[in-house]
Structure 1
């Protein structure tokens, strides 16, 4: 490996700048490498299916030329890259859940049939963004009395607004309210949200790996983008204070002030609450797994070889309650353990080598 690079979110359907993100990743990966030594490239880009392919190809070419490379890179959908990241077999099924979610039957780097993966607005059920949206909805419903009590009323504002903002708001509560909150008893509802809470700084202003689902993967031969993994958010408190409605408007401002993909940051928050036994969070994770397995059931008839591998890909399916449920469901359906995908950059590199006439053994 000669170099790696990372960039911000690249999925245009989630507010990303595809060309800019790929250019950033490519430039970092190349470093001071002689551009003349790069003989080929492969981009796995979210939204590079039939509907978004022209824009994806144009973005890849702009990035390629911006860093001084000759020729044009190959462009495939990131779904094909996700499958190749788990197996060198030419055919099989991939179920994915990261920024987006769905399942597909893959044959030689081409999607034969797919289910979902339609973007946050009309699909992607079971994705990290979907989990984040459901977490926010559950917290807001608990704040205004429509929903059940949940740990998410504490962990969601901490993740979106920052622990310091939440703790500062707690300290500004009336003293008797703070005492009741510390004791775990319901206290009187606070007044309108202070402006300082609504304007609180957010840790969501961050870049995401260029190899993750929804961002696109750029691989050079012999270079590849391989950013480090980010760590999950902390677990929610076992005994949070009562729901504080003053956070509702601050959360709304934060959610609508960021690209939709930013909601994916809450995926680990839901998983942590579910692992802590929160009934609302467990319902969300169970529904996510049901959606993903439904996707698999929808594409399975297009798989000619019942022995072909099944690959799990994406941040939601690495570990946690959704991953455990999907893995168990796949094992029951195929009588075999699914394969876990590695770095998407490895999958893109494998596809690039195959196109150059150097297929790898499975």
Structure 2
């Protein structure tokens, strides 16, 4: 974002993610340069007097090669001043207050809290990534929602679970999808808990038996091959047909039967009510783990609509986030607390629950971060403004009209 020292916006640019730790330096800084060039479309780069970049993965700049790539990317934009890089926690804190010290709690895809002194982080809590931490983050919320849906697949489902099923299994979302005409049975008196129903009357027993769907256990046929053959004569057509009508399903694990082989039969039990849970688990595991963060808005929507299961997830997320804050903030601290990240800057039950818990524990202002790019511009302009002027102009930078 290009801004005058008076807080008037002169240009804005957007591009992909800029975290060198997540993307690698080349891709991250190419995105950064793209956004800078777009922001300077109506500005002569040589007239820019200060540059501040709020950068996730700031520690990567300790690597000389990464630092050189960062500087080269910005020089390629025509800038003639040396850029200043600050961490995303510093920029997020500045987006919520003009005060130099306090605490920032960030909950987006990940989650972290930082104690800020003179606009520099001096203590951090969490921020360890989805596998080891990020408690109360969008990922954490999404994983909790997916776990709930899988648990409830074997019983009566609630609004959040049904929303998760639609999101993960709807064909339009690229999931496994339910077959045409199928729907989840969720109400008492419907088909067995957690099962899929087609809305059609069940076939008579004799027909089900012909389809290989009796109560007998299905089998998987595994070819016992040596030099491409089972070492046995192929089963006769009548034998194969007879096998296919005994109530057992037959398949080859390596892609299907070839040359009439029958292979080794392994019995696989059918567990009633398990199909939906398996579909959900498969859909989740087929995607990158961090994609679970997409389910976070479903939690907020269901909680706002009164779903008690979603409300419990929200309450737990809020408690964990506030606990993270307590690890970097003393009990009597009265400096401001800034909430940042998509989970906490969005109006909804998670933010309200976090605000309520924070205000119970600390007698301090709790604010919501504004524009992060505007905050970085405000930090850059600070070298040309006295503290009083900077404080007066803060709102104009972080809440541009």
TM-score (norm 1): 0.71
1:296 aligns with 2:325: yes
1:309 aligns with 2:315: no
2:391 counterpart residue number:
361
1:107 counterpart residue number:
117
Determine if contact 1:160/1:254 at 8 Å carries over to the other structure: no
1:47 counterpart residue number:
57
- Distance in 1 (CA, whole Å) between partners of 2:135 and 2:380 is 30
2:356 counterpart residue number:
328
Assess, with a 3 A threshold, how the Cα gap between structure 1 residues 166 and 101 changes in structure 2: closer, same or farther. closer
The SS at the match of 1:300 is coil
Assess, with a 3 A threshold, how the Cα gap between structure 1 residues 190 and 361 changes in structure 2: closer, same or farther. closer
1:267 counterpart residue number:
296
* C-alpha deviation, 1:153, in angstroms: 3.2
Assess, with a 3 A threshold, how the Cα gap between structure 1 residues 326 and 115 changes in structure 2: closer, same or farther. same
Number of residue pairs the alignment of both structures matches? 300
2:205 counterpart residue number:
none
TM-score (norm 2): 0.65
Query: 1:73-92 alignment to 2 at 5 Å?
Result: 73-92=83-102
Segment drifting more, 263-272 vs 4-13? 4-13
- Distance in 1 (CA, whole Å) between partners of 2:180 and 2:350 is 37
1:34 aligns with 2:44: yes
1:137 counterpart residue number:
147
- Distance in 2 (CA, whole Å) between partners of 1:24 and 1:162 is 35
1:10 aligns with 2:15: no
* C-alpha deviation, 1:183, in angstroms: 9.3
Segment drifting more, 80-89 vs 114-123? 114-123
2:379 counterpart residue number:
351
Residues 249-273 of structure 1 show CA distances to partners (whole Å, capped at 9, x for unaligned) of: 55225523xx72x433222111112
* C-alpha deviation, 1:180, in angstroms: 5.9
Assess, with a 3 A threshold, how the Cα gap between structure 1 residues 150 and 340 changes in structure 2: closer, same or farther. same
* C-alpha deviation, 1:21, in angstroms: 2.5
Equivalent of 2:180, from 172, 175, 190? 172
* C-alpha deviation, 1:308, in angstroms: 1.8
1:189 counterpart residue number:
195
Assess, with a 3 A threshold, how the Cα gap between structure 1 residues 64 and 325 changes in structure 2: closer, same or farther. same
Q: Which structure is richer in relative contact order (CA contacts within 8 A, separation 6 or more)?
A: 1
Question: C-alpha root-mean-square deviation of aligned residues, in Å?
Answer: 3.3
* C-alpha deviation, 1:328, in angstroms: 0.8
* C-alpha deviation, 1:88, in angstroms: 0.8
Structure 2: gaps of 5 or more residues: 1-8, 198-273, 393-401
* C-alpha deviation, 1:98, in angstroms: 1.2
- Distance in 2 (CA, whole Å) between partners of 1:21 and 1:361 is 31
1:339 counterpart residue number:
367
* C-alpha deviation, 1:343, in angstroms: 1.0
Residues 169-214 of structure 1 show CA distances to partners (whole Å, capped at 9, x for unaligned) of: 456246xxx59679982358349xxxxxxxxxxxxxxxxxxxxxxx
Equivalent of 2:133, from 108, 123, 137? 123
- Distance in 2 (CA, whole Å) between partners of 1:278 and 1:9 is 34
1:239 counterpart residue number:
none
The SS at the match of 2:124 is strand
The SS at the match of 1:112 is strand
Segment drifting more, 337-346 vs 12-21? 12-21
1:282 counterpart residue number:
311
- Distance in 2 (CA, whole Å) between partners of 1:64 and 1:22 is 8
1:19 aligns with 2:33: no
Segment drifting more, 73-82 vs 317-326? 317-326
The SS at the match of 1:263 is helix
Structure 1: gaps of 5 or more residues: 192-241
- Distance in 1 (CA, whole Å) between partners of 2:17 and 2:189 is 40
1:152 aligns with 2:160: yes
- Distance in 1 (CA, whole Å) between partners of 2:356 and 2:277 is 38
2:287 counterpart residue number:
255
